[in-house]
Structure 1
Amino acid sequence: MRIKMISVAVLALALTTTSCVSKKVYKDLENKYADLKKENRDMADQNAALTKEKNELDLKAKDLESKLAKTTEDRDKNATELAATKKSLDALKASYAALEKDSNSALESNMKKNRELLAQLEAKEKALAAEQERLLKLKTELQERSARVDELEGKMNAQQASMAALKDKLSKALNSFQGKGLTVEHKNGKVYVSMENKLLFGSGSWTVGTDGRKAVEEVAKVLADNPDISVLIEGHTDNVPYSGNAQISDNWDLSTKRATAIVNIIRENKNVDPKNLTAAGRGEFAPIAPNDTAEGKSKNRRIEIILTPKLDELNKLLNEI
C-alpha cells in the first residue's frame, strides 16, 4: 500500500513538473492519477477499518487473556479443591469401609440378639397364651364354682328355713311338755330336743314312763312327716356311779339302753324310716351343768334327740366346689 502511495506521489510530481508529454499521455496519466488517488482513499479507508478492527481485536484479546488467566486460576483452584476432595473421599471410603466392617459385625451381633429376643418373645407369647388359657379355664371353673356356691347357699338357706320350720313344728307338738324338763332349740343348723330323765325314766331304769312315751310319740309324728332328717338319740347320765340292776355294768351302758329305748318307741311309728335313726350312749362324759348340785345332776340326766338334715347333696356340691 505504501508503494502505491509513493507511485501516486511520483506520478503527481511528474504531471506537475513535466511539460513535454503529450496531451494523450497526460490525460492517461491524469486518469491513472485519479484512479490511484481513489484507490489510495479506499485503501486508507480500509486501513482505518483494519486499524479499528485491530484495536477491537486487541481489546478482545486482552479480555480473553484476562478470562484465560481467570479460568486458569479457577482451574488451578478447582484442581486443588479436587485433590483435597479426592483425598477426603479416599478418607471417607476408608472410614466407610471400616464402619461397614464394624457395622456388619454389629449388625450380625444385633441380629443374633434379635433372634434371641424373638425366641424369648415367642416363648413368652406361648407362656402367655398358656396362662391366658389357664386363666380362661380358671374363670370358667370359677363361674361354675360360683354357680355351685350360689346353689349350695340356696340349699343351705332352704335347709335352715326347713330346720327352723321343723323346730317350730316340734315346739308346737311338744308344747304341753314345756316346763317338764323338755326344751327345743335350733342351733348350728340342727334341732335339739332335750328331755330330762324325770320326764322319761325312773331312777336306774331304762323303761319310759307314760308322759315320756307321749312326748316321744309326738316327736315320732313330726319325724314321719320329715323323712330327709337324720336322727341321733343320745343318752346322758350324771357322774354318780351306777349301782342298780346287775344287767347294767355302768353309766355308759345305762345311757345306751335308755337311748335304745327311745329309738324303739320312735320305730313304733311305721312311717319313720329306721335307717334314719341312731342310738348312742355318752354316759357322764358330756355334761351340760356341774355335777356338784342336785339341780346340775338333774340336767345332766337326759335324752337328747338331735335332728340333722341329710347333707349328701350338700356334700356333693361342696366336693364340686
Structure 2
Amino acid sequence: MRKLMIVSASALVLLSSCVSQKKYAALEAKQRETQDMLNTATVKLNACLATEESLRDQIADLRKTNTDLINTQGNLTTLSAKGAENLEKSLEQMKEKDLQIKAFRDALNRKDSVTLALVTSLKGAIGNMNDEDIEINVEKGVVYVSISDKLLFNSGRWDVTSRAKEVLGKVATVVKNKPEIEFMVEGHTDSKPISTSVIEDNWDLSVKRATSVVRILQEEFGVPPERMVAAGRSYYVPLASNDTAEGRARNRRTRIVVLPKLDQFYKMIEDGMPKN
C-alpha cells in the first residue's frame, strides 16, 4: 500500500512537472510573439518619429517660404509702386523732350522760311545778272552772295568798279529792308603772290577789297556799319585749284555772308516751348 502511495505521488509530481513545461513553452512562445510585436511597434514608432521630424522640418521650411513670399510680395508691391512712379516720370520727360524737339523743328522751319525769303529777295533784286559773276546759294542754312573779282575790281586793285556799285546797291536795298540781318564781307584772292608799295601781300589785298565793299555799302547806300564785318581770307579758302587760270579766276571773289543770329534762333525755340 505504501508502495502504491509512493508511486502515485511520484506520478502526480511527474504529471505536475509535465504540465508546467507545456505552460512555460506556451508562455515563452507568447513572450516571443509579444517581443516581436514590440520590436515591430518600436520600428514603426521610430519611423513615425522620423517622419514626424521630417514633417516638422518641412512645415518650418514652408512657414519660412510663406514668410519670404509675403515679404517678397510686399517688396514687389513697393517695387511696382516705384516702377510706376519712375515710368510716369519717364513719360513726362519724354513728353517734355518731344515738346522741345517740336519747338526746335518749328524754329528751324521758321528760320528756313526767313532764309528762303531772303534768297528770293536777293535774286529778285539782282535780276538776270550773269551767273558767272554772281552766285546766291545756301549752305547749312547760311546765305552766301559771291561776286566775282572781274565784276568788282580791276586786276591787283581794291577800288570798286562802277558796274559793281550797281550790284552792291541792289544788295543794299534788300539788307536795309531786313534790319535783323547782319553780314560779313569776305575778300578772297588767288595764290599768285602780290607785293607793291601799297599792298604787302594777299592778306592785305583781300582785306582792302573787303573794306572797300563795306565802305561803299555804308557811305553810298546807307547800310548801318554796325551790321557789317569786313574780313580778308587771302587765298586759303579756294573754290578751285590755283594751278589753272580758270581756277584762279574762280578763287578771286568777294563773298557776302549773312551771319546767323543765334540769339534770335534760340528765342524762336524758347517762344515755342510751353510755359510752366
Same fold (TM over 0.5): yes
Residue type of the partner of 1:153? R
> What is the CA-CA distance between 1:308 and the residue it aligns to?
4.2
Aligned position for 2:231: 280
What do residues 263-300 of structure 1 show as CA deviations (whole Å, max 9, x unaligned)? 333334556472x4333221111111222222221111
Residue type of the partner of 2:111? Q
Q: Give the count of matched residue pairs.
A: 231
Give the SS at the match of 1:304: strand
CA distance in 2, matches of 1:250, 1:303: 17
What do residues 218-238 of structure 1 show as CA deviations (whole Å, max 9, x unaligned)? 212211222333413221100
Aligned position for 2:168: 216
In structure 2, relative to structure 1, the CA distance for the partners of 1:142 and 1:287 (3 Å cut) is same
What do residues 94-115 of structure 1 show as CA deviations (whole Å, max 9, x unaligned)? 7666544333322322333444
Q: CA RMSD in A?
A: 3.2
Unpaired stretches in structure 2, ≥5 consecutive residues: 1-39
Residue type of the partner of 1:288? L
CA distance in 2, matches of 1:122, 1:242: 85
In structure 2, relative to structure 1, the CA distance for the partners of 1:169 and 1:105 (3 Å cut) is same
CA distance in 1, matches of 2:222, 2:69: 79
| Alpha carbons 2:111, 2:265 under 8 Å: kept | no
How much identity, in percent, do the aligned residues show? 33
CA distance in 2, matches of 1:311, 1:224: 20
What do residues 224-269 of structure 1 show as CA deviations (whole Å, max 9, x unaligned)? 22233341322110000112233x3321222122222223333345
In structure 2, relative to structure 1, the CA distance for the partners of 1:303 and 1:122 (3 Å cut) is farther
Give the SS at the match of 2:200: coil
Residue type of the partner of 1:253? D
Residue type of the partner of 1:135? L
Aligned position for 1:189: 141
Residue type of the partner of 1:167? V
Give the SS at the match of 1:312: helix
> What is the CA-CA distance between 1:152 and the residue it aligns to?
1.8
| Alpha carbons 2:181, 2:259 under 8 Å: kept | yes
| Alpha carbons 2:193, 2:202 under 8 Å: kept | yes
Aligned position for 1:35: none
Unpaired stretches in structure 1, ≥5 consecutive residues: 1-87
CA distance in 1, matches of 2:203, 2:116: 32
Greater Cα radius of gyration, structure 1 or 2 = 1
- 1:6-17 superposed matches below 5 A: none
Q: Which has the higher contact order (CA 8 A, sep 6+)?
A: 2
In structure 2, relative to structure 1, the CA distance for the partners of 1:105 and 1:219 (3 Å cut) is same
Moved more, 197-206 or 111-120: 111-120
Aligned position for 1:134: 86
- 1:84-103 superposed matches below 5 A: 98-103=50-55
In structure 2, relative to structure 1, the CA distance for the partners of 1:125 and 1:237 (3 Å cut) is farther
Aligned position for 2:28: none
1:310 to 257, 261, 268: 261
Residue type of the partner of 1:198? K
Give the SS at the match of 2:233: strand
CA distance in 2, matches of 1:150, 1:111: 57
CA distance in 2, matches of 1:139, 1:299: 55
1:227 to 173, 179, 203: 179
Aligned position for 2:60: 108
2:157 to 205, 215, 235: 205
Give the alignment's TM-score, normalised by structure 1. 0.61
CA distance in 2, matches of 1:288, 1:231: 21
| Alpha carbons 1:220, 1:272 under 8 Å: kept | no
CA distance in 2, matches of 1:314, 1:99: 83
